[in-house]
A = this chain, B = another copy of it.
Amino acid sequence: MFAKLKIKLDDNTLDYTKSSMFQGILFEKIDTEYADYLHQQSFHPYSQGIIKQKNNEVYWCINTLSKDAYEKIIIPLLDSQLNEVHIKKIDKTVKLIKKELQIQESKELTVRFYSEKPTKKIKLDFYAPVSFKQNGYYQAMPDLRLIYQNLMNRYSSINDMEMFDSDTLEELLKNSSITKYRIHSASFPMEGTYVVGCVGSIIITFFKNETVSKYARLLFDFAEYAGIGVKTSMGMGMVKKEEL
C-alpha cells in the first residue's frame, strides 16, 4: 500500500531547504528499532520533505511505500496530541494546522495500467531539487534515462519483484521525449554541504507505443509517493504528476 500524509504548517517562511531538519523530527517520533532498520536500507520505503505551493502554503509531506512503513512512520504522526513540532537546529516551534491522509492499494496502479486509456502527455512539477548519481558525480539535469531507470529500480525494490529490464527502458526512451520545460539548477543543503538538482517543470510526450505510455504513467503514479532520484528521504526529489 501507498500512503501520503500532507501536514499543513503555519509557517510560510519554510521551504525545501529545511526538509532534512524534518527528517530529524520524523526519527524522534518513530521507534528506535525501526529507525535502525531504516538506516540499513539502500532504498527507503518512505520519502518526506517540505513543499511550498504556488499559493505560498507550506506542507510537510510524508509518503510511505509499504504497510509496514505506514504503520511505523505515518501512524505516530496521526496522534491527535501531536499538533506542533520543534525544529532544534533553528530553535523554532511550528504548528501543524491540518492533516490530510491519502491511502492507495499498490495494485491500484497496475489496475490503471490495464483499464485506463494511455496518456499522451505527463507534466512533472519538481517541488524540490531532483538529482541523480552517475559515475560518482551528481547529475543535475533531468535526463529521461536516469528518471526511468531510478523509478524502475525503486519500484522493483518496493514490490520485491524485478521491474527493471533494459529492453523496456530502451522502449520507453524510444517512445517518449521531454518536449516542453522550464527548469533551473538549485542547491539542496545537507549536512554542511549541498547537492545540486533540478527544479521547475517538464512535459513528457509519448509517441505511438500505447503500452509504453501506460507503463510510464504507472512509474510516475509511483513517483508521487517515492520521489525521484537521490536523497528522497531527506526532502529531495519530491514531484507532482499531472496528466495532460
Would you call A149 an interface residue if the criterion is a C-beta within 8 Å of the partner chain's C-beta atoms?
no
B180 touches A185 (CB 8 A): yes
Q: What residues of B have a CB within 8 angstroms of the CB of A178 in the complex? A: 140-141, 185
Kindly report how many copies of this chain are found in the complex they form together: 2
Give which listed residue, B135, B137, B183, contacts A184 with CB less than 8 A: B183
B177 touches A137 (CB 8 A): yes
- Closest approach, in angstroms, between the C-beta of A216 and any C-beta of chain B? 16
Q: A180-193 toward B: CB 8 Å interface, digit per residue (1/0)?
A: 11111100000000
- A182's closest neighbor in chain B, by CB? B184
Secondary structure at the A interface, as helix, strand, loop or mixed, is strand
- A176's closest neighbor in chain B, by CB? B137
B185 touches A182 (CB 8 A): yes
- Closest approach, in angstroms, between the C-beta of A139 and any C-beta of chain B? 6
Would you call A174 an interface residue if the criterion is a C-beta within 8 Å of the partner chain's C-beta atoms?
yes
State A141–B198 Cα separation when bound (angstroms). Answer: 13
Q: Which residues of A, 167-217, contact B by the 8 Å Cβ criterion?
A: 174, 177-185, 196, 207
B140 touches A179 (CB 8 A): yes
Chain A contacts to B: CB under 8 angstroms: 135, 137, 139-143, 174, 177-185, 196, 207
